[in-house]
Amino acid sequence: IHEQKSFQEARDQLKESQAALNALVSIYEEKEPSKSEGKLAGVPVVLKDNINTKGHLTTASSKILENYVPVYDATIVKKLKEAGASIVAKASMDELGMGGTNRNALTGPVHNPYDLDRISGGSSGGCAVVVASGIVPLSIGTDTGDSIRKPAAYTGVVGVKPTYGRISRYGIIPYASSLDTVGYFTTNVADAALALEVLAGRDDHDMTSSYEEVLEYSQLLNADLEGKRIGIFKTVNEEVKDPIIKAGFEQLEEKLRAKGAILVEKRMPEQYMNLIAPVYRTIANAEATANHSNLDGIRFGRRENGESVDAVMTNSRTAGFSSYVRARFVIGSYSLFEENQDKLFRKAQKIRRLLVRAYADLFKDIDGLLAIAAPTLAPKIKESSDLRFQEASFAEDHMQLGNFSGYPSMTLPLGFEDGLPFAVNLTCRPFEEETMFDLADGIE
């Protein structure tokens, strides 16, 4: 990690940034003990507030967890400390990970450092902006549907969602378990490669974590694109309207050809692309509803009074979740309802499988797939909405294919329009992060 900064320096800069960015839920006053040597020795790190930190407030930006102090560290927190990093703050997010704007956070919206009137994107928005503004070199978030890669695109940083199962999720407040992936933000590809070495690996506390070998990615980096076959996801790019973003991507294509890469056009039927959003919504909301049934005010978190146990739960959940999250629980419950399960939840799972098969086909003869990450610049806070159920184009949601399939996927800065960043998305076959970082190094 280049650009070293002390814990105190980072802490003070984070405090100072709050007035403008509002990126944080809590800041650590004191440095906690961590190893003095290691791959991340002395590196100040910010964590999304859905990552359990022993003795430190962990709210997931939800009122129902506003006073929740975990009694244990998530596995990745232990790993970071063992590698010498120090945790310096917990970052704002869309409540429980639900949202793509970071407007839906208990502490209010996070602001984009390139234009404070614009969203950071979400749900890992706080994490994105503390790296984008150069305060910390590394922040850890989660990506269920694009929650790292979209904010990375809006704020001009590198955002990585590794393969599903690469990084332990033990101690992470879940959203949708079949999609949730731990990932992170950095300012460059080399740091991104190093971070995975530290974070990845099997954890017996998380049965979905993989035994797949973790490599020394930062030592293996090879930016040589000669003969590399790179898919260009035409279906997505053709759907993008912004001429400057399109031109930026075409310039990248030129650059890649000049470096000896072979570009291969890739398409997926639009009927399939249009299924991404409804399938995602059905699965994510159903799994979220099940996962969050433990947030009842009884076991932990904020409790409201009531005449009976049922009333305590109802009152706690009514007061503890925003109406937006409650709306999602209604959708989730509806599709899990016994009468509806076959025609909604199970059907969505079947279509997911179909989409993953079609997606896998695209990767048969390529090393990686490139697409425009987000079709627009970061929207204005006033104009953005998460309740855009009908009108959104699949160019907004295509990165969710990376969660359906579990494939490693990352966002890389591509250019600027009117001073605002836009980005490219790179996805590779499962557990081929080494290839992903090589290609990213060549693109960067």
Q: In sequence order, which residues have a C-beta less than 8 Å from that of residue 81 and are 6 or more positions away?
A: 32, 33, 34, 35, 73, 87
Annotated active-site residue 78? The verdict is no
Report in angstroms how near the CB of residue 143 gets to ligand GLN at its nearest.
Answer: 5
- In the set 17, 62, 124, 147, the catalytic residue is 147
Question: Pick from 145, 151, 301, 442: which binds ligand GLN (CB under 6 A)?
Answer: 145
Burial class (CB in 10 A: 0-12, 13-18, 19+), 417: middle
Q: Is 97 in the site for ligand GLN (CB under 6 A)?
A: yes
Touching ligand GLN, residues 238-257 (CB under 6 A):
none
**Which among 15, 16, 44 is positioned nearest to 27, based on CA atoms?**
15
Distance CA 207, CA 20 (A): 41
Distances (CA, A) of 226 to 132, 257, 387, 440: 31, 9, 44, 14
**Which among 19, 20, 18 is positioned nearest to 116, based on CA atoms?**
20
| Location of structure tokens 């090393």 | 367
In total, the chain counts a number of residues equal to 444
- In the set 5, 17, 34, 48, the catalytic residue is 48
- In the set 34, 92, 120, 123, the catalytic residue is 123
- Separate counts of helices (H) and strands (E) for the chain: 17, 13
Q: Is 331 in the site for ligand GLN (CB under 6 A)?
A: no
Q: Is 143 in the site for ligand GLN (CB under 6 A)?
A: yes
Instruction: Give the residue with the Cβ less far from ligand GLN, 44 or 109.
Output: 109
Q: Is 147 in the site for ligand GLN (CB under 6 A)?
A: yes
Kindly state the DSSP code that residue 32 receives in the 8-state scheme: P
Distance CA 372, CA 387 (A): 23
Annotated active-site residue 210? The verdict is no
Using omega within 30 degrees of 0 as the cis cutoff, is the peptide bond preceding 322 cis? no
Question: Pick from 58, 144, 163, 409: which binds ligand GLN (CB under 6 A)?
Answer: 144
Q: In sequence order, which residues have a C-beta less than 8 Å from that of residue 299 and are 6 or more positions away?
A: none
- The span of 16-24, 94-102, 187-195, 198-206 binding ligand GLN (CB under 6 A) equals 94-102
- The span of 3-11, 21-29, 36-44, 139-147 binding ligand GLN (CB under 6 A) equals 139-147
Site track for ligand GLN across 162-191, x = CB under 6 A:
-------------x----------------
Question: Pick from 157, 200, 225, 284: which binds ligand GLN (CB under 6 A)?
Answer: 284
Annotated active-site residue 147? The verdict is yes
Q: Is 49 in the site for ligand GLN (CB under 6 A)?
A: no
- The span of 19-27, 98-106, 222-230, 365-373 binding ligand GLN (CB under 6 A) equals 98-106
Distance CA 85, CA 187 (A): 17
Question: Pick from 40, 60, 98, 140: which binds ligand GLN (CB under 6 A)?
Answer: 98
Q: Is 100 in the site for ligand GLN (CB under 6 A)?
A: yes
Q: Which residues in this chain contact ligand GLN in the complex, by CB under 6 A?
A: 97-100, 123, 143-147, 175, 284
Active site residues: 48, 123, 147
